Amino acid sequence: MLGIVLALLSALTLGFSQILVRKNLDKSNFVYISLTVTIMGNIILWPLTIYFTDLSTIKPESLLLFVLAGLFAPGIARLFYFKGMKTAGVSANSSIFATHPLFTSIIAILFLGEILSDENWIGIIFIVAGAIFIARNINNSSTQAKYTSKTGFIVPVFGSLALASSQIVRKEGLNIFNQPLLGATIGYSTSLIVYLIVIAFSKDSRTRNYSRKDIQMFWKPGIGIATGWLLSFLALSQEKVSIVVPILQIELLFIILFAFIFLRKLENFSVKLIASALLIIAGVILLSIS
């Protein structure tokens, strides 16, 4: 029961954090947002990792895998997530990102030899159908979010693929050295390096410098996202993965709920969008059934 409560709190925290990001999204750019969120995560995660992890037992091969996983996510995936908020809108972006179990399953079948049940295959169909409906919806001029372009959904799709790849690599690292807190922290540190490199070569950094204002706007969601990240790991330590993972996907429902309450002027909603989001969530749940 404790694991279920922790998973729900994680989904709630992550969902609300995305809304906090969206409220100030137009005042910054996705690189600086990602940088601020990642800085806050490093500040929170490293002290906990040093305190709770026996660093003398670290295996080098697992570290390399954690670094690679961190490059994919939060690294690339987070950049694409916040960029997708502008190109697709927060609700559509989050819905498409919810399809990452589809990519994870395909990669796992090809490289890890995993087998899916009938329920899993039905879940995949649901997820693909939901993603198609959302793609059509955000390309409909009458229901577009303010910043949606006709190719805007491509950004979250590639971000979802990066997230799926990260999970496969992270799983291999945990098989070697089962320290999820360390893996999450190394991922955050790798992402920080990625964002600093991106900023160094970004056109935005030449026209607008990273400032205290960025930190003031996004430090709160940064703490929220890191907290949600930790809560998800704690939930996994208390409950079965097949129960925790579907519950974590309820984050999408919280995002839609909070977006409807707080962002009515920033997002355009439709019955098709909400129905597609629910279809994806149903698919994720079926996909998680072992």
Cα–Cα distance between 115 and 75 in angstroms, integer?
29
pLDDT in tens, 238-251: 776 656 767 787 78
Show the beta-strand stretches assigned E in 67-210.
none
* CA end-to-end distance (rounded Å), the chain: 19
Q: Output the pLDDT for position 143.
A: 39
Report CA Rg, the chain. 18
Percent of the chain with pLDDT over 70: 87
Q: Output the pLDDT for position 2.
A: 83
What 3-state class would DSSP assign to 267? coil
| Mean pLDDT across the chain | 82
Q: Output the pLDDT for position 56.
A: 87
Cα–Cα distance between 93 and 154 in angstroms, integer?
10
- For the chain, give every domain's residue range: 2-287
Structural element, H or E, at residue 134: helix 118-138
Q: Is the pLDDT assigned to residue 29 strictly greater than 90?
A: no
Q: Output the pLDDT for position 264.
A: 67
